[in-house]
Structure 1
Amino acid sequence: MSTDDFQQDSDLTISWVSYVLHLVVAVGAVIPGGQVGPLLLVVALIIDLVKRGDVQGWQRSHFGYRLRTVLWAALLYLLTAPLWALFFFPGWLAWVVISIWFLYRVVLGMVRLNRGQAMPDPSAV
């Protein structure tokens, strides 16, 4: 096994670990009372931030994809937080939609990683 093959396997393993952590967080956000996520999300975020610069090829797109997903979800949760204080149901509904969107993005990323496919470039849209 060459050094490049070993590095690609290592990057793939790290990517899977990060996706699994994101998946646990996403499922916990959708299931009532299943909030196990903040610490796991921080761990996954740190992994992605630290390793993103080291990863080459198609796998690099997954690191950026996970980072964008977490940042967008955090922004959406923050923007809809006041709804909880004003009206319970709209706040709850907004967070359910955001959580389902987060879960969808994580599963989509896992499927594409399993197929060996890069995530689409967001600037190409």
Structure 2
Amino acid sequence: MDVVVLIGRVLFTVLFLASAMGHLTQTKAMAGYAASKGVPMAWAATFGSGLLMAAGGLMVLLGVWADLGALALAAFCFPTALVMHAFWRESDPQNRMADRIHFLKDVSLGGAALVLFAFFAYAGHDLGLMLTGPLFSIG
């Protein structure tokens, strides 16, 4: 079972780590998009969100306080869904559909991150292939 959890951790973090690289290496371009969505201090927000995704993704991937890493990823997903993908504000049908898909993706990933948080906090000490146990304890 430990290998299945490891595979799941790897697959779950691929999107976050790839996005983090984009946020950290293409900050100026991505900040322009964030500014167009009304994000204040767009450069700092873009760079900071890249750091948050990188830290949270690596924590989950490596099993270093994976519960805290999962919370960090959830903390990224929900505000991003609301601010960057507010599909209800879009008048163009194509942009509305694209933002709706991204909104639902971010909400779903945030929900999955919360499930991982609970899983790691509950069973983290019994899981193999983790570098540390959980920071939090449930149950």
Query: TM-score, with normalisation over the residues of structure 2?
Result: 0.36
RCO greater where, 1 or 2, for CA within 8 Å and sep 6 or more? 1
